[in-house]
Amino acid sequence: MHKLLSCLLLLVPLLGSGQATSTLLRPAAVFDGQDLHPGWAVLVKGDKIKALGPAAQLTAPAGTTTLELPGLTLLPGLIEGHSHLLLHPYNETSWNDQVLTEPLALRVARATVHAQRTLQAGFTTARDLGTEGAGYADVGLKQAIDQGIIPGPRLLVATRALVATGSYGPHLAAVEDLPQGAQEADGVDGIIRAVREQIGHGADVIKVYADYRWGLGGTAQPTFSQDELALIVQTARSAGRGVVAHASTAEGMRRATLAGVETIEHGDGGTLEVFRLMKQRGVAFCPTVAATDATSQYRGWKKGQQPEPQRILDKRRAMQAARQAGVTLAVGGDVGVFAHGDNVREMELLVQEYGLGPLEVLRAATSGNARIFHLADRGRLAPGLLADLVAVAGDPTQQVQALRQVKLVMKGGTVVAL
């Protein structure tokens, strides 16, 4: 790695010169978003991939800096499908207390660190699905990252998210007019206004809670009507935005699918019937198994020592049904429920406990997520695409744990973590 560090130091004066520098990366193997290619190299010019292929056949222009990456696999920057940068683990501070008692400035300060940790973990893009009471702070975070003020992944932000009145939280029976973790909206006029407000403030995607727990200690039930959900999707689409749905009940999932959402998050109560409907309608499923695992342990489950709690069993049944139905899987762990920077936890659990193969999960977290999220400029390694690259020790197509051994992160052709 000393040779790599020396090469990176040579890059420093060039990065600030305003010139489109060229860099040749020579790892042991290249994963292009679909397949592994031993002996390949990647040529980067400016912020884009210029060429890739067998190292012996790749010609670099004069003045190109070469980064030797022996023993490493080079792959597209990972894409986090479900995150909340403005949350931190619930075993540190409960969700209610984060929303009700933590000042916005404190939450934003934490989020800047969360963004950096996400990038350092090899995730160069993240879909952030709701600020949970922090208003439009995710838009400001995205701007700060894009302007180079703070390090972080490229963000797709959902801003405040939409909930039906009375169906979200915090809930305290004796207190009225509490701050809410999302924007309440009901009926035709209210829904149209809320969707347009969020888009006007910078939302890249609209998130809707198609079901949630009603009242104190209530069980999850559908929230918006079928017509309301369809109106949300229609209003968002007219402004070029997709809709993602939080849904954990079969009926909430069914309504959201029929309404035309693009992804469903969580899906714990999903049945084979509803997953087949999702498959038919082209709706992807983001199961967030890591969040379920984390919250179950926060509630006292001693993993490996006690029987699995009902929430884990429900998730297993849902995943089995989703796999049987052939639903497209998006990869995202609901990070924020657990620690930012530990994003690979979702991928590890999918392989180790839910029966997916390492190659399948790796494809899903790169080219798969890019396709689902309409990110045609990333997720694969091909000429003309963004030079968002990660180098890890070992072969992640065989051992998913290799993704924890991040040795290099490049974003837009610039080395941002080593």
Q: Are residues 58 and 200 in the same domain?
A: no
Q: Are residues 58 and 163 in the same domain?
A: no
Q: How far apart are CA 417 and CA 151, in angstroms?
A: 10
Give the sign of the dihedral formed by CA 288, CA 289, CA 293, CA 299: positive
**Which of helix, strand or coil describes residue 227?**
helix
Per the structure, how many domains does the chain have?
Answer: 2
pTM reported for the whole predicted model = 0.95
Task: Identify whether the C-beta of residue 276 lies closer than 8 Å to the C-beta of residue 257.
Answer: no
> pLDDT value at position 176?
73
Q: Are residues 270 and 311 in the same domain?
A: yes
The residue range of the domain holding 58 is: 2-76+380-417
Q: Are residues 109 and 225 in the same domain?
A: yes
> pLDDT value at position 387?
98
Q: Residue 385: what residue type?
A: L
- Return the number of other C-beta atoms located less than 10 Å from residue 202's C-beta: 14
Q: Are residues 130 and 181 in the same domain?
A: yes
pLDDT tens, the chain, 418 aa long: 444 544 444 444 344 444 679 999 999 999 999 999 999 999 999 999 999 999 999 999 999 999 999 999 999 999 999 999 999 999 999 999 999 999 999 999 999 999 999 999 999 999 999 999 999 999 999 999 999 999 999 999 999 999 999 899 887 766 777 889 999 999 999 999 999 999 999 999 999 999 998 877 778 999 999 999 999 999 999 999 999 999 999 999 999 999 999 999 999 999 999 999 999 999 999 999 999 999 999 999 999 999 999 999 999 999 999 999 999 999 999 999 999 999 999 999 999 999 999 999 999 999 999 999 999 999 999 999 999 999 999 999 999 999 999 999 999 999 998 7
Q: Are residues 65 and 129 in the same domain?
A: no
Q: Could you tell me how many residues make up the chain?
A: 418
Among residues 205, 285, 290, the alpha carbon closest in space to that of 247 is found at 285
Q: Are residues 252 and 391 in the same domain?
A: no
Angle at 386 between CA 414 and CA 343, to 5 degrees: 80
- Give the CATH number of the domain where residue 272 resides: 3.20.20.140
Strand stretches in 168-310, DSSP E:
183-184, 205-209, 211-213, 220-222, 242-247, 263-266, 284-286
Give the sign of the dihedral formed by CA 163, CA 165, CA 166, CA 170: positive
Q: Are residues 72 and 90 in the same domain?
A: no
> pLDDT value at position 173?
61
Task: Identify whether the C-beta of residue 362 lies closer than 8 Å to the C-beta of residue 396.
Answer: yes
**Which of helix, strand or coil describes residue 211?**
strand
Among residues 120, 124, 115, the alpha carbon closest in space to that of 77 is found at 124
Q: Are residues 394 and 304 in the same domain?
A: no
Q: Are residues 89 and 168 in the same domain?
A: yes
- Give the CATH number of the domain where residue 28 resides: 2.30.40.10
Q: Are residues 89 and 99 in the same domain?
A: yes
> pLDDT value at position 171?
73
Task: List the alpha helices (DSSP H) in 72-162.
Answer: 95-101, 104-120, 137-146
**Which of helix, strand or coil describes residue 348?**
helix
Among residues 134, 151, 25, the alpha carbon closest in space to that of 408 is found at 25
Q: Are residues 384 and 349 in the same domain?
A: no
Among residues 255, 375, 263, 275, the alpha carbon closest in space to that of 317 is found at 275
